[in-house]
Copies of this chain bind each other. A is one copy, B any other.
Amino acid sequence: MNFEEVKREVVKFSEDREWGQFHTPENLAKSISIEAAELLECFQWNADYDKQAAKEEVADIMNYCILMADKMGINIEDAIMEKLKKNAEKYPVEKSYGTSKKYTEQ
């Protein structure tokens, strides 16, 4: 299934349950943080992790991001490409090659 279809399924799942009323951008932002922490919990005490559990948490985060984009009326693919372009300016290859330093510290 391609991403366009996946996005439609995610929105439909929520619509079928009349959950749109709870999905304000603010509540979705909270929900993304909550799910992100559940993913982090897979790595709480060491780098080993349960792959199935982590996969489900990544899915939960993506699910809420799709609903967020839908509520905000933005296109996810465009948002990512715009940000990538901005990051390319902050992190030109010649300055960023092989370093994890923040652009403010380079």
CA distance A77 to B76 in the complex (A): 14
- A1-B77 contact in complex given A37-B36, A83-B56, A84-B10, C-beta closer than 8 Å: yes
Question: What B residues does A46 contact at CB under 8 A?
Answer: 100
Q: How large is the interface on A (under 10, 10 to 19, 20 to 34, 35 or more residues)?
A: 35 or more
Q: Is the CB of A25 within 8 A of B45?
A: no
Q: Is the CB of A58 within 8 A of B74?
A: yes
- A30-B24 contact in complex given A13-B88, A58-B79, A84-B9, C-beta closer than 8 Å: no
Given contacts A29-B40, A29-B42, 11 further A-B contacts (CB under 8 A): A1-B78, A2-B77, A6-B80, A16-B93, A17-B96, A26-B47, A27-B44, A56-B86, A60-B83, A63-B83, A63-B84
